[in-house]
Structure 1
Amino acid sequence: MSGYGKLQADIEIKSPPSKFYEMCCKRPYHVSNASGDRIQSCELHKGEWGKAGSVICWNYFHDGKARVSEHLIEAVNDDENLIVFRVIDGDLLENHKEFKFTMQATPKGKGSMVHWTLEYEKHHENIQEAYSLLEFVVGMSRDIDAHLMEGK
């Protein structure tokens, strides 16, 4: 028997929503410059950066291990600063049948609110919830914000 999971986090940042979204959607290959302890690289395998239907591959460091995850960009909405990634290959699928990341950046005061949603189906109910991965994207978001604010 499998188990479904959905985790969410909101991170208040100082960067404008469009800048944060641009880094995550249009220039994810720069995320390693902002969050090098977490992200080693991001490569385009098919399509165009920031376009639905494209495939990108993340090389990252999580829970003490080097990992790889290939994502299909499932949806992009430039007006809403929203992107949806569905995992199609890699380490996350060892314990999960499906895994999806949704990120949306919205204006808040002089900065933004970044909302992450992680949705997944585990191979079986004994697999832990993805809290450490949620912490990972929260930390990465803070790193990106700090990087963007350096280059004001």
Structure 2
Amino acid sequence: MAKMSKMEVQTEVNSSADKFYNVFRHEVQLMPKIIPEKIKDVKLLQGDWGTVGSVKLWTYVPDKNAAIVKEMIEAIDDENKTIKFKIF
């Protein structure tokens, strides 16, 4: 049976909205280098980075325990700079 839980993380971003969106859209694999205190790893499991249908495995480090999350991109809107994710 799946375990349901909630995790919230806040971090200050010293970047323009365009650069931040670009990282999530095209260079998400850099997130562990950008904020290593919050994200330990991002692995691509299926598809291509930054494409609809791609599946990634995130390893977060919110406190002393790591949380592992599988995510799939459902939709991308470059004009409005939005990405819709499904977490499972």
TM-score by structure 1 length?
A: 0.47
Shift of 1:75: 1.1
- Equivalent residue for 2:51? 51
Structure number with higher relative contact order (C-alpha < 8 Å, ≥ 6 residues apart): 1
Change (3 A) 1:55 1:62: same
2:34 & 2:13 partners in 1: Cα distance?
A: 14
Q: Structure 2: any 5+ residue segments left out of the alignment? A: 1-10
Shift of 1:48: 1.1
- Equivalent residue for 1:26? 26
Q: Structure 1: any 5+ residue segments left out of the alignment? A: 1-10, 89-152
Amino acid paired to 2:24: C
Shift of 1:63: 4.0
Q: How many residues align?
A: 78
Change (3 A) 1:37 1:19: same
1:76 & 1:59 partners in 2: Cα distance?
A: 22
Structure 1 counterpart SS, 2:76? strand
- Equivalent residue for 1:62? 62
Larger radius of gyration between Structure 1 and Structure 2: 1
Structure 2 counterpart SS, 1:83? strand
Larger relative strand fraction? 1
TM-score by structure 2 length?
A: 0.77
- Equivalent residue for 2:84? 84
Change (3 A) 1:38 1:13: closer
What percent of counterpart residues are identical?
29
2:87 & 2:14 partners in 1: Cα distance?
A: 29
